[in-house]
Amino acid sequence: MPRYRLTIEYDGAGLVGWQRQANGLSVQEALETAITRFCGQQVTVHGAGRTDAGVHALGQCAHLDLAKAVPAEVLRSAINYHLRPAAISVLTAEPAPEGFDARLSATGRVYLYRILNRRAPPSLERGRVWHVAPPLDIGAMCEGTRYLLGHNDFSTFRDSLCQASSPMRTLDGLELRRQGEEIHIEARARSFL
């Protein structure tokens, strides 16, 4: 069976996250439904990781197996056609190298958190930024990142329903930068809770 690697972006508002769930539409379900409409076969789309409800993605990796080979560009276009009107897009589709698995082959994950640091609340970026009106001391925030870097117990940040076997994680990078009225926090690790 030919395997394909997909790069996906989506607006997580209104979605229950990556994984198929009974309580609403997931990214996985939307993709699988679109692919089934295109090729007529039931397919499981495997993501590099699971996102929570409301989380957006700029470049999530996934893979799927089809019964027969399809040109990658045809696959990408067909999935996007059948995804409409969902706010999910396949940016790239390509034949996957031998042994590729979206989750197991992932070398890291990057999360971007955006803080809008101004008095006026967001109107255009509502739901995409965290609004904090009082001025923030980015120097102090940067100083605090050193306590989070490396291998640490992240129990404090763990959801009570978290399925991870251990709260220990290695945070490889944590960068803060001011960009206009926003503060961007970029976290890099092989895996998160």
Q: Domain extents for the chain?
A: 3-95, 109-189
Q: Do domains 3-95 and 109-189 have the same CATH topology?
A: yes
Average pLDDT of every residue of the chain? 93
Which whole number is the average pLDDT over 40-67? 93
Which whole number is the average pLDDT over 16-35? 95
52 in catalytic set: yes
DSSP string, 66-130: -SS---HHHHHHHHHHHHTTSSEEEEEEEEPPTT--TTTT---EEEEEEEE-SSSPPSSSTTTSE
- The number of CA neighbours under 13 Å toward the Cβ of 75 is 24
Q: What is the pLDDT of residue 191?
A: 74
Q: Is the pLDDT of residue 187 over 80?
A: yes
C-alpha–C-alpha distance, residues 106 and 122, integer Å: 34
- What pLDDT band is residue 193 in, cutting at 50, 70 and 90? low
Selected from 3.30.70.660, 3.40.50.920, 3.40.50.300, 3.40.50.150, the CATH number assigned to the domain covering 109-189 reads 3.30.70.660
C-alpha–C-alpha distance, residues 83 and 76, integer Å: 11
pLDDT digits (tens, 9 = 90+) for 146-185: 998 999 888 888 877 777 788 888 889 999 999 999 999 9
Please tell me which residue in 52, 65, 159, 172 is annotated as part of the active site: 52
Q: What is the pLDDT of residue 127?
A: 86
pLDDT digits (tens, 9 = 90+) for 56-86: 999 999 999 999 999 999 999 999 999 999 8
Selected from 3.30.70.580, 3.40.50.620, 3.40.50.300, 3.90.1580.10, the CATH number assigned to the domain covering 3-95 reads 3.30.70.580
Q: Is the pLDDT of residue 107 over 90?
A: no
Report the percentage of the chain scoring pLDDT > 70: 99
Which whole number is the average pLDDT over 32-46? 96
